[in-house]
């Protein structure tokens, strides 16, 4: 029953987490970067005048090959094939959490509750990542596979764990590095060599694909970051520089470590050595990543660090704290220590309602936290533990008022995208001259399939490609940073800009080509 029940429960939770909470988004975060790259790889004529796609950083991932293949086989669009993968990989991650919980001495029902609480998602203060990614990006696919590999290792299914980790490596190698370091120690001590066969094959396949990837950006591995590049990264990607973090972020992570240690003390006798290595080892690597990043990036200026972003390992500190606290709550409930169980369940649900514990609290969310914890303890008492997980997925967004992302897709933006797609040349270049740092530009690029001269979100690629970052900054400082000035319009033609888009309050005396309640479009005179 467990062999069938665990995957079935994982799929049900994955669907609930996809459609309810923490949910999913499209073209609101990094899919604004990946989708144009995929469209350009599928048809090089699409967006060929957009700097974002001219040297895509897809060399060291099979994310693009998988998406292109699935689109070709299914006939669906990129949104659909990526969403299907997102659901499937979330199910793999939740299955991994269930396996981890059963390895820690829980039966299937309480294990499903633990997995549900850990699937509520946490925004990690500092490195700007999530334990459950909302968008179908390479990291969103790789992290759940790493969790599955941990769960399989906890049950000593080393070869299966190696296969899961190899698949994760093919999608996003940096996400797997912490797991692989600990997995190497475990397997070598136990003389388990077979799990490394799929991992070696994955590394060889990725190296082959990178060597034959046409047009991909050449990502450097050695060298130092120069002063101009550092200034750009500190401006656009400050989250990778720990010296730019507020001190409360570091205190936040230390408090999470203390909470994890307290919960670990309660469950240490229930956790086998294989699981213990990850439950403690990955958070320790996360904590160590802060001084390591400070040393290698801020002092050694190693050019590889902005690409690897080692402080993303801090997501495992938050995730393992949730896991250990939820397991501690389940074991306390099984021992009929109901108040202790509720307390640990509250700790496990803490971060989805309060992502940074050192910031001010909303009493409404504190009340919801206590309610969810009480429901979880009661569900354990009446042996309906999975229902408490479903309750958390509903109460946190609706009663707690947790909204993970703003709504960028508006009717006005859709109308603009449709008009541009059908009424302008495929090579047309648009400048949203008064949009500032709005994310709507990335939505327009992917929906209209028209080039955007420069946008703030696209500038996030300054970590990967120095020529891109220099060109991005030149365009940004020349057009967007000064703000909109009608007197600048004549010079736009020389920059290759065909159309300018402004907000209605900046309407010009000339008749527009298109207008609605949100946007006004003018042709740039030659």
Q: What is the pLDDT along the chain (526 residues), one digit of tens a residue?
A: 457 889 999 999 999 999 999 999 999 999 999 999 999 999 999 999 999 998 777 778 999 999 999 999 999 999 999 999 999 999 999 999 999 999 999 999 999 999 999 999 999 999 999 999 999 999 999 999 999 999 999 999 999 999 999 999 999 999 999 999 999 999 999 999 999 999 999 999 999 888 776 655 556 678 899 898 999 999 999 999 999 999 999 999 999 999 999 999 999 999 999 999 999 999 999 999 999 999 999 999 999 999 899 999 999 999 999 999 999 999 999 999 999 999 999 999 999 999 999 999 999 999 999 999 999 999 999 999 999 988 898 999 989 988 877 778 999 999 999 999 999 999 999 999 999 999 999 999 999 999 999 999 999 888 888 888 999 999 999 999 998 999 999 899 999 999 999 999 999 999 999 999 999 999 999 8
Residue with the two structure tokens 């499209």:
26
- Whether 315 and 129 have beta carbons less than 8 Å apart is answered as yes
Q: Which residue has the tokens 């320790």?
A: 284
Q: Are 169 and 206 in contact (CB under 8 A)?
A: yes
Please report the pLDDT score of residue 219 as a whole number.
62
The span from the CA of 407 to the CA of 398, in Å, is 16
Q: How many residues does the chain have?
A: 526
Q: What is the pLDDT of residue 212?
A: 73
User: Residue 211: what pLDDT?
Assistant: 79
Tell me the Ramachandran region of residue 75: left when phi exceeds 0, alpha when psi lies from -120 to 50, beta otherwise.
left
Integer Cα distance of 424 and 439 in angstroms: 22
3-state helix, strand, coil in the chain (%, to 5): 65, 5, 30
Instruction: Give the integer Cα–Cα distance in Å for 454 and 477.
Output: 10
Instruction: Decide: helix, strand or coil at residue 230.
Output: helix
Angle between the N-to-C axes of helices 338-353 and 108-118, in degrees from 0 to 180, rounded to the nearest 10: 30
Within 10 angstroms of residue 408's Cβ, the number of other Cβ atoms is: 18
What is the pLDDT at residue 215?
A: 58
Question: In degrees rounded to 5, what are phi and psi of residue 61?
Answer: -160, 150
Alpha helices in 407-488 (DSSP H): 411-423, 440-448, 466-475
Contact partners, residue 52, CB within 8 Å, separation at least 6:
33, 36, 37, 445, 452, 458, 461
Does residue 53 contact residue 471 with C-beta atoms inside 8 Å? no
Compute the C-alpha angle 223/226/232, nearest 5°.
120
Question: Which spans in 104-246 are helix H?
Answer: 108-118, 138-154, 158-171, 173-189, 196-211, 227-236
* CA–CA gap between residue 112 and residue 10 (Å, rounded): 8
The SS3 of residue 302 is strand
Distance CA(434)–CA(440), nearest Å, equals 12
Would the pTM count as exceeding 0.85?
Answer: yes
Task: Give the relative orientation of helices 158-171 and 173-189 as an angle to the nearest 10 degrees.
Answer: 160
Task: Give the C-alpha distances (Å, rounded to integers) separating 237 from 233, 249, 518.
Answer: 5, 16, 29
User: Torsions phi, psi of 130, nearest 5?
Assistant: -130, 150
> Sign of dihedral through CA atoms 64, 216, 47, 455?
positive
What distance in Å separates the CA atoms of residue 524 and residue 513, rounded to the nearest whole number? 11
Residue 416 · residue 501 · CB < 8 Å:
yes
CA dist., res. 299 & res. 376, Å (int)? 47
Rounded to whole angstroms, the Cα distance separating 232 from 218 reads 19
User: How far is the CA of 42 from the CAs of 45, 70, 477, 480, in angstroms?
Assistant: 9, 12, 31, 30
Q: Tokens for 330, please give them.
A: 């389940």
What pLDDT shows up at residue 1?
A: 43
Question: How do strand 129-130 and strand 123-124 relate by DSSP bridges?
Answer: antiparallel
Cis peptide before 22 (omega within 30 of 0): yes
Handedness of CA 185, 191, 195, 201 (dihedral sign): positive
Who's near 440: CB < 8 A, 6+ residues apart? 408, 410, 413, 432
10 Å Cβ neighbour count for 467?
12
CA–CA distance, 355 with 315 (Å, rounded to integer): 12
CA 305 to chain centre: 18
- The closest of 513, 498, 454 to 479, measured between CA atoms, is 454
Other C-beta atoms closer than 10 Å to the C-beta of 104 total: 25
pLDDT of residue 217: 57
- CA 416/CA 519 separation, integer angstroms: 7
Angle at 502 between CA 496 and CA 506, to 5 degrees: 130
């Amino acid at each position: 029953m467990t062999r069938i029940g665990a995957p079935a429960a994982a799929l049900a939770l994955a669907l609930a987490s996809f459609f309810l909470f923490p949910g999913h988004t499209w073209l609101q975060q990094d899919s604004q970067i990946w989708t144009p790259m995929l469209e350009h790889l599928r048809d090089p004529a699409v967006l060929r005048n957009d700097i974002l796609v001219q040297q895509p950083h897809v060399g060291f991932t099979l994310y693009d090959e998988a998406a292109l293949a699935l689109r070709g086989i299914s006939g669906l669009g990129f949104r659909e094939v990526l969403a299907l993968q997102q659901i499937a990989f979330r199910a793999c991650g939740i299955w991994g959490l269930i396996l981890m919980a059963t390895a820690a001495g829980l039966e299937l029902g309480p294990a499903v509750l633990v997995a549900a609480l850990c699937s509520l998602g946490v925004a990690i203060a500092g490195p700007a990542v999530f334990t459950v990614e909302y968008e179908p990006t390479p990291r969103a696919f790789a992290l759940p596979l790493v969790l599955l590999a941990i769960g399989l290792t906890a049950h000593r299914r080393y070869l299966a764990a190696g296969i899961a980790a190899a698949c994760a490596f093919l999608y996003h190698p940096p996400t797997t590095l912490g797991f692989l370091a600990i997995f190497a120690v475990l397997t070598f001590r136990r003389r388990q060599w077979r799990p490394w066969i799929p991992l070696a094959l994955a590394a060889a396949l990725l190296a082959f694909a990178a060597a034959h990837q046409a047009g991909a950006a050449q990502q450097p591995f050695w060298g130092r970051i120069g002063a101009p590049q550092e200034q750009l990264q500190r401006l656009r990607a400050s989250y990778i520089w720990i010296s730019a973090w507020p001190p409360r972020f570091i205190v936040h992570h230390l408090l999470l470590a203390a909470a994890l240690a307290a919960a670990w003390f309660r469950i240490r006798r229930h956790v086998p050595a294989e699981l213990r290595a990850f439950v403690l080892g990955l958070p320790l690597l996360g904590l160590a990543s802060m001084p390591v990043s400070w040393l290698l990036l801020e002092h050694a200026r190693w050019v590889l660090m902005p690409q690897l972003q080692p402080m993303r390992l801090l997501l495992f500190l938050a995730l393992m704290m949730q896991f250990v606290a939820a397991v501690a709550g389940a074991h306390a409930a099984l021992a009929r220590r109901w108040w202790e169980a509720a307390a640990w369940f509250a700790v496990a649900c803490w971060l989805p309602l309060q992502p940074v514990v050192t910031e001010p609290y909303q009493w409404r969310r504190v009340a919801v936290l206590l309610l969810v914890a009480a429901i979880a303890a009661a569900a354990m008492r009446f042996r309906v533990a999975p229902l408490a997980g479903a309750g958390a997925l509903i109460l946190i967004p609706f009663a707690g008022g947790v909204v993970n992302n703003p709504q960028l897709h508006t009717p006005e933006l859709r109308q603009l995208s449709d008009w541009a797609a059908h009424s302008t040349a495929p090579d047309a270049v648009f400048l949203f001259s008064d949009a500032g740092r709005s994310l709507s530009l990335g939505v327009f690029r992917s929906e209209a399939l028209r080039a955007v001269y420069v946008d703030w979100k696209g500038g996030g690629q300054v970590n990967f490609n120095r020529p891109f970052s220099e060109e991005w900054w030149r365009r940004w400082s020349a057009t967007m940073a000064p703000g909109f000035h009608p007197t600048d319009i004549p010079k736009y033609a020389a920059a290759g800009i065909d159309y300018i888009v402004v907000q209605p309050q900046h309407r010009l005396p000339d008749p527009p080509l298109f207008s609605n309640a949100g946007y006004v479009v003018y042709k740039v005179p030659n």
